[in-house]
Amino acid sequence: MTIQLYCFGESGNAYKAALALELSGLDWTPVHVDFFGGETRTDSYRAEINEMGEVPVLIDGDFKTSQSGAIQAYVTEKSGKFGGKSHAENYEAFRWVLWDNHKLSSQAGMTRFLMNFLPEEKRPAEVIAFLHGRLKAAYQVLNAHLEGRDWIVGDGITNADLSCCGYLFYPEPFGFDRKDWPDIDRWLSNIETTPGWKHPYDLMPGSPADRA
Q: Read off the pLDDT of residues 21-54 as tens digits, 9 standing for 90 and up.
A: 999 999 999 999 999 999 999 999 999 999 999 9
Fold exhibited by the domain 87-192: Glutathione S-transferase Yfyf (Class Pi); Chain A, domain 2 (1.20.1050)
Collapse the DSSP code of 64 into the 3-class scheme (helix H, G, I; strand E, B; otherwise coil) and give the result. strand
Residues of the chain with CATH 3.40.30.10: 3-81+199-211
What pLDDT, on the 0 to 100 scale, is given for residue 1?
84
Query: Rounded to the nearest 5°, which phi and psi values hold at 59?
Result: -125, 125
**pTM of the full structure:** 0.97
Distance CA 68, CA 58 (A): 9
CATH 3.60.15.10 for domain 3-81+199-211, yes or no, is no
Name, in order, each residue with C-beta under 8 angstroms of 174's C-beta and a sequence gap of 6 or more.
108, 111, 112, 115, 116, 135, 167
Q: Residue 112 burial by CB count (10 A; 0-12/13-18/19+): exposed, middle or buried? A: buried
What pLDDT, on the 0 to 100 scale, is given for residue 103?
98
- The one-character DSSP state at 39 is G
Collapse the DSSP code of 28 into the 3-class scheme (helix H, G, I; strand E, B; otherwise coil) and give the result. strand
**Alpha helices by DSSP H, the chain:** 12-24, 43-48, 68-79, 87-99, 105-116, 125-146, 159-164, 182-192, 200-203, 208-211
| Contact by Cβ (8 Å): 128, 114 | yes
Query: Rounded to the nearest 5°, which phi and psi values hold at 25?
Result: 85, 0
Distance CA 184, CA 71 (A): 24
Q: Classify strands 3-7 and 28-32 as parallel, antiparallel or unpaired.
A: parallel
What pLDDT, on the 0 to 100 scale, is given for residue 212?
74
Distance CA 91, CA 45 (A): 33
| Contact by Cβ (8 Å): 174, 118 | no
Distance CA 58, CA 39 (A): 17
- Write out pLDDT tens, residues 91-100: 999 999 999 9
**Regions of the chain short of the pLDDT cut 70:** none
Residues of the chain with CATH 1.20.1050.10: 87-192
